[in-house]
Amino acid sequence: MRNDINKIDAIHYTVKALRELLPDGRFNVAFRDGGKFDYSGIEVVSDHVLPSEEVLLSKIDDLYDADVVRVAATEYQRLRAAEYPDFKDYLDGVVKGDQTQIQAYIDACLAVKAKYPKP
């Protein structure tokens, strides 16, 4: 398992990997102190066979890497959302028929889009 996976993520990705590798299986997972991965702490309580430690660790790394890529691909959306002007400013301009206010809102949105372009 990658060293950059923290305690909570280690639990999450171990369970997620086991669910994918044993879709109908039931299992219990125990972690050593500090959330360290411990293959011997996995107990399959159904008629399934526990995958090898190498297969499980590879699956955990694949799941983690896929999430890192997914989050990075949508980071611009989170950054934009935090900086977009309040939509109430736009609606206020529409209600008042104030084209200057409406255009200011549009310009502010376009500036945010330019600052955080899609990858």
Domain extent listing, the chain = 7-73, 76-115
Q: pTM, whole model, 2 decimals?
A: 0.65
What is the C-alpha separation between 30 and 33, in angstroms, rounded? 10
Q: 49 exposed, middle or buried (CB, 10 Å; 0-12, 13-18, 19+)?
A: exposed
pLDDT tens for the 119 residues of the chain, in order? 666 666 678 888 999 999 999 999 899 988 777 667 778 889 999 889 999 999 999 999 999 999 999 999 999 999 999 999 999 999 999 999 999 999 999 999 999 999 999 98
What is the C-alpha separation between 50 and 22, in angstroms, rounded? 8
What is the C-alpha separation between 59 and 5, in angstroms, rounded? 13
For the chain, the distance separating the N- and C-terminal CA atoms, rounded to the nearest angstrom, is 29
